Amino acid sequence: MIKTVGGYWDPIIWIIAFIVIFILAYMIRAIGKKEYRKGEQIKPFLSGMEEPSKEAVHIRASNLYWGFVEALKSYYETMKKMHTGIINDYVAWFVGITAIIFIAVFIVGII
């Protein structure tokens, strides 16, 4: 157990709580409807087309989070421009940040 600012964290208690909640959830699931037909009811409807087997489908990495990246398109365009891969730019960023710290220390605040 470790003390945090607002309370404490005990992983063993968390694991016990997790197991208890898991068992309760499993028990609730077990008392579900008896007329449930395994396989048939979870089959998706794809405009009448046959669903491909799970093994035949794999969404590639670049397609994941497409919506998130699309929503932040302008941010990512800026970020890509920033990450040029050119060492001169890396050095420029370093010099720029050092200059900002100089300004912050000597003009905005006095150490």
Q: Of the candidates 92, 88, 72, which has an alpha carbon nearest to the alpha carbon of residue 80?
A: 72
Q: Which of 24, 106 has the CB closer to other proteins? A: 106
- What's phi and psi for 91, nearest 5 deg? -65, -40
- Binding residues for other proteins (CB under 8 A): 1-2, 4-7, 9, 11-12, 14-15, 55-62, 64-65, 68-69, 72, 75-76, 79, 82-83, 85, 87, 89-91, 93-94, 97-98, 101-102, 104-106, 108-111
Measured CA to CA, the distance from residue 92 to residue 102 in angstroms comes to 15
Could you tell me the smallest distance in angstroms from the CB atom of residue 67 to other proteins? 12
CA dihedral sign, ordered 82, 87, 92, 98: positive
Could you tell me the smallest distance in angstroms from the CB atom of residue 30 to other proteins? 26
